[in-house]
Structure 1
């Protein structure tokens, strides 16, 4: 969770910029964001990730879509940078008290994938149906596009494997395998498989909010820079939705190598004051991971 927040904070000052407008020498200095946020701030990426983790822990690993949406609605006034699909879902909820309704016009943005890593941290790799069901449930609170759910499944699968101390190649295999499954059940995920095999290149204008493109970018970064200290600045250097890509990379690689998180020389610049109690929350997720299937 700390590595996730660190990646988020590292990318926030550069979010929305094309790669050529990102100063590599300045990235790890965490300059204050142009939008007036405090230096070291995290965004909706971290806020929603923590909400998912707490929702999982508080429900004993049995959250409903409405459980998460109600929590998000309560927290939303204090969350920085909520994305367009999430804002629409919240507006619909405030007007009707209901979940968003699937439609052909649903945009496959990355908000569901962005927050889903706690599902992977809480569910081991040998329970794929459990993990996928939680991805679908928690995605449905705001994101109904099939590609958005597919991308969430890929991120959760990588996070789940990472906790088992999976090496770089194992993480890539996990991503490719889940992308093939998600492609059969939700929609094409060829870009993720290509990224895992080194056949995908980041868009020159920066990574967009598209869920599949975001998942492919995360896989690409982990393939090219499998060590956390190098991966996070590289993720930011791709431009576009830099904070989300870097946060997800942090959530995966930090789970694989917790000692590398403490070794980040700039970690002290990250403001975690809005998210106290992460150690206790992590312990509660770890306890869920050890709970037998019949206990869930």
Structure 2
């Protein structure tokens, strides 16, 4: 969780910039964001990740879509940087009290994948059906596009395997395997498969909000910079949605190597004051992971 938040904070000052405008020497100095946020701030990435983790813990690992959406609606006024699809879903909820309905015009943005790492942390890899069902339920609170759900499944699969000690070199293969499954159920995930094989190049204008592109970027980062301390600045250097890509890379690699978080010399600049009790919350997720399998 701390590695996730660190990646988020590292990327916030550079969000939306093309790669060529990002100074690698400045990234780890965590300059104050241009948008007026305090230095070291995290964004909606961390806020929603923590909401998902608490929702999982409070429901014994069996949250419904509405459980998360009601929590998000309550928290939203204090969350920085909510994305366009999430804002639309919240507006619909406030107007109707209902979940967003599937539509042919649903945008496959990355808001569901952005928050889904706790599902992987809480569900062992031997229970893929449970993990995928949770990805779908927690995605559907705001994101109904099939590609958005597919990207969430890929991130959760990597996070689950990372907790179990899969080597960084193995995680791209985990992503590729999950992309094959999601490709059969939600649609093509060619970019993720290409990234896992080293055949994907980051867009010259930066990583967009597209869910599949974001998942591919995270796989690319893990493949090219498997060490946490190197991965987070590298993720930011890709430009575009810098905070999300760095947060997700941090969430996966931090699960693989928790001690690596202590090697982030700039970690003290990250403001975690808005998210107290992460240690206790992590313990509750760990307890869920040990729960006997009694169904999907």
Coarse TM-score class (shorter-chain normalised): over 0.9
Cα deviations by residue, 1:177-223 (Å, 9 ceiling, x for unpaired): 00010011001101000000000000000000000000000000000
Unmatched tracts of structure 1, length 5 or more: none
Name the structure 2 match of 1:232: 232
Secondary structure of the corresponding residue to residue 170 of structure 2: helix
In the TM superposition, structure 1's runs of 4+ consecutive aligned residues that sit over 4 Å from their partners are none
| 2:108 aligned with 1:100 | no
Moved more, 162-171 or 10-19: 162-171
Moved more, 62-71 or 165-174: 165-174
The number of residue pairs the alignment matches comes to 296
Q: Measure how far apart 1:294 and its partner are.
A: 1.8
Secondary structure of the corresponding residue to residue 33 of structure 1: coil
CA contact (8 A) 2:116 2:155 kept: yes
CA distance, structure 1, for counterparts of residue 226 and residue 238 of structure 2: 16
Name the structure 1 match of 2:73: 73
- List aligned pairs for 1:155-234, cutoff 5 A: 155-234=155-234
- List aligned pairs for 1:274-285, cutoff 5 A: 274-285=274-285
| 2:232 aligned with 1:263 | no
Name the structure 2 match of 1:137: 137
CA distance, structure 1, for counterparts of residue 168 and residue 261 of structure 2: 17
CA distance, structure 2, for counterparts of residue 245 and residue 114 of structure 1: 8
Name the structure 1 match of 2:44: 44
Q: Measure how far apart 1:295 and its partner are.
A: 8.0
Name the structure 2 match of 1:251: 251
- List aligned pairs for 1:49-64, cutoff 5 A: 49-64=49-64
Name the structure 2 match of 1:122: 122
Cα deviations by residue, 1:115-156 (Å, 9 ceiling, x for unpaired): 000000000000000000000000000000000000000000
CA distance, structure 2, for counterparts of residue 75 and residue 293 of structure 1: 32
CA contact (8 A) 2:168 2:256 kept: no
Secondary structure of the corresponding residue to residue 275 of structure 2: coil
Q: Measure how far apart 1:169 and its partner are.
A: 2.1
Q: Measure how far apart 1:263 and its partner are.
A: 1.3
CA distance, structure 2, for counterparts of residue 136 and residue 76 of structure 1: 21
CA distance, structure 2, for counterparts of residue 73 and residue 42 of structure 1: 19
Cα deviations by residue, 1:25-53 (Å, 9 ceiling, x for unpaired): 00000000000000000000000000000
CA distance, structure 1, for counterparts of residue 282 and residue 102 of structure 2: 33
CA distance, structure 1, for counterparts of residue 195 and residue 172 of structure 2: 9
Cα deviations by residue, 1:259-286 (Å, 9 ceiling, x for unpaired): 0001110000000000000000000000
Cα deviations by residue, 1:208-262 (Å, 9 ceiling, x for unpaired): 0000000000000000000000000000000000000000000000000000001
Name the structure 2 match of 1:148: 148
Unmatched tracts of structure 2, length 5 or more: none
